[in-house]
Structure 1
Amino acid sequence: MFAYYSMLYEIRSLLPCRYHRKNAIFMKWGADYFNYRIVKTADLPADRNYIVGSHPHGMLCLGMTQSFASYVAGITELYTGFKTWTVTLWGQFLYPLRRELLMIGGRSRLLANCRLMHFQAQESRQAVTIVVGGLNECLMSQPGKYRLKLKDRKGFIKLALTEGADLVPMFHFGENETYKPVFGICEKRLRNMQCHLMHTFGFCPPVLVGRSLVGLPWGGLVPFQVRMESVIGDAIRVEKNPNPTQQEIDELHHAYCKQLINLFETHKSNYGIRPDQRIILY
């Protein structure tokens, strides 16, 4: 029975569980807790499909969860008529319970044939969100630091070209301040252990500390109550190319990185970030 159940859910994980989207009381609580809002900087034409790059990953992807994995922050009012999806690596769905939590959170699997799940569902108005940095970026998460794993992340660029989906950068201000790592990023032994777990199982639990509800001096697991806002940039027009060359992928990747950095630089002063602080790409 357990094997059969797991097989069915492996198939079902191709599509997200959407029940929570209009009835997510816990999502509303999260938005209220962070006084969360989405900042729209440009209109997105409704006759196009979009791949939205979500940055930074943070410890638990709270910004992406509030913005595109639910409707509580008003994403459908800001971009009328769009259907939003969030996708993650297929390996995240191999483990029972974790898979169900991801599905309830609106995630579905990211496969090579992602278009069969989403872009072919309707002709346009699809917005698929990908947390580009992944677990590597999670392990680099630290308050006041803006380190993004992006230099060698070009799979989503190729997907945008092959599907003809425009690219949209999104930056979550406050994401890295929701938790603190228990050990610094240079703690070699812990980092080696986390990397081993990541390569073996596809994920590893972040070692983090948050707020304690009962006043424990060493903290707790509740995220710090910080101001969090997601700023969504303008779209980069992408023409469909079923067989892009490496040069075309590299050029579009460079344009995307440049637009993401410009988005951060334009808005960082609104969130108390010093003028000399920059995004560092790895």
Structure 2
Amino acid sequence: MEFMGIKFAPLKIPLERRLQTLGAGGWFITLVSGVAISLLLTVYLLVYSSLWLSVVLYLIWMWFIDRETCDRGGRRLNWVRNLSWWKYMKDFFPLTVKTVPGVKLDPKRNYLFCSFPHGMLATGAFSAFATNATEFNDQHPHHTPHLITLKSHFIMPFFRELIYSLGMCSASAKSIKWILNNPDGGNIAVIIVGGTAEAYHSRPGQYRLVLKNRNGFVKIALKTGSPLVPVFSFGETELFDQVSNPEGSLLRKIQDWTKKVVGLPALIPIGRGFLQYSFGLVPNRKPLTVLIGEPIEVQRVDDPTPEQVWDLHKTFVDSLTNLFEEHKHMYLKDAENLQLIIS
């Protein structure tokens, strides 16, 4: 049904699909507004609540005792990762995790997964590696994934407890090396290399990555001797469009300013709503496939030269490009007209 240009969802929709929409929309809104809600809740409890002393003690513990946990593997809670919320979210798209045939991870080794594209909010990487709702654990039962996110998120009261429980860790080099230097193996650090800079380019029908000048992940792989694994989320950029923000526009300047101040650009996503399909903060219901590629062997080098770094960087870019080109026809519509743009 359409009214005044807004396409509304039918009234008779199975409860299962309603719950899927609630799961996907609730996830996006929680992550986007979680920091602001946490700060407002903290102020409210300190100023207007009888719980102010408990909050003060929590903040002291957070700042002086628990401050480095995000750099030491975090503290996941499997009961949170097992919540039905994540299954409904996964089934909404639906989202599938696959591994290139023939690829098996060595249980005694640690791996550095490099996931692309970031999209609006790295939906594929989040579902695959920060929840237990997907096929990942069945495919790689001997490895524990740690999704890497901004360190600033771990100084936000309450919100930090959610991302901790999902197994997330800080994006600092110290944190990633801690994960990859586990002598027993079985760890995976999952980084979204393009970061929020890549989110600027997230639009349906295009795959533009921010990778050409990013080599920090390569240096860490060399220093730890961890294999690099390309991971691609096919369909990631189809989940949201965004308000036009060409470079030089007022909106882009505001977004650049917010990114500089708080680490995140104030992008304006265009998705759908809970009860209509024309606009909103709920992702579009599009198939999403997270494909794990073949590991690239890396020899440990304590002090890698620039030549070694860029040689491995080129090898990784070629591997990622091949992963996209070889599988895009299986997972994307109009694949023959889609090219991977690396900037």
Aligned to 1:53, the other structure's residue is in SS state strand
Calculate the aligned-residue CA RMSD, in Å. Answer: 2.0
Identity %: 29
**Which is greater in Rg?**
2
Q: 1:116 Cα shift?
A: 5.7
Instruction: Say which of 38, 58, 70 aligns to 1:13.
Output: 70
Q: Which residue of 1 aligns with 2:213?
A: 152
The gaps in structure 1 that reach 5 residues or longer are none
Q: Which residue of 1 aligns with 2:319?
A: 259
Residues 115, 145 of structure 1: CA spacing in aligned structure 2 closer, same or farther, 3 A cutoff?
Answer: closer
What are the superposed Cα offsets for residues 242-278 of structure 1, whole Å, 9 maximum, x if unpaired? Answer: 1000100000000000000000001111121431321
**Alpha-carbon distance in structure 1 between the residues aligned to 2:277 and 2:239:** 17
Q: Which residue of 2 aligns with 1:4?
A: 60
Aligned length, in residue pairs: 281
**Alpha-carbon distance in structure 1 between the residues aligned to 2:160 and 2:267:** 17
1:93 equivalenced with 2:154 (yes/no):
yes
More helix by share: 2
**Alpha-carbon distance in structure 2 between the residues aligned to 1:110 and 1:213:** 33
**Alpha-carbon distance in structure 1 between the residues aligned to 2:255 and 2:161:** 23
**Alpha-carbon distance in structure 1 between the residues aligned to 2:282 and 2:216:** 33
**Alpha-carbon distance in structure 2 between the residues aligned to 1:88 and 1:28:** 22
**Alpha-carbon distance in structure 2 between the residues aligned to 1:25 and 1:115:** 29
**Alpha-carbon distance in structure 2 between the residues aligned to 1:18 and 1:96:** 17
Aligned to 1:10, the other structure's residue is in SS state coil
1:34 maps to a residue whose letter is F
Q: Is the 8 A contact 1:180 1:208 kept in 2?
A: yes
Normalising by structure 1, we get a TM-score of 0.92
Normalising by structure 2, we get a TM-score of 0.76
Residues 174, 187 of structure 1: CA spacing in aligned structure 2 closer, same or farther, 3 A cutoff?
Answer: farther
Q: Which residue of 2 aligns with 1:276?
A: 337
Instruction: Say which of 145, 160, 163 aligns to 1:84.
Output: 145
2:300 maps to a residue whose letter is K
Q: Is the 8 A contact 2:181 2:224 kept in 1?
A: no
The gaps in structure 2 that reach 5 residues or longer are 1-55
**Alpha-carbon distance in structure 2 between the residues aligned to 1:55 and 1:281:** 11
What stretches of structure 1 move > 6 A for 4+ residues in a row? none
**Alpha-carbon distance in structure 2 between the residues aligned to 1:10 and 1:276:** 48
Residues 104, 182 of structure 1: CA spacing in aligned structure 2 closer, same or farther, 3 A cutoff?
Answer: farther
Q: 1:122 Cα shift?
A: 4.3
Q: Is the 8 A contact 2:223 2:302 kept in 1?
A: yes
**Alpha-carbon distance in structure 1 between the residues aligned to 2:150 and 2:302:** 22
What are the superposed Cα offsets for residues 182-232 of structure 1, whole Å, 9 maximum, x if unpaired? Answer: 224457211111111111222234311211122275x11111111001111
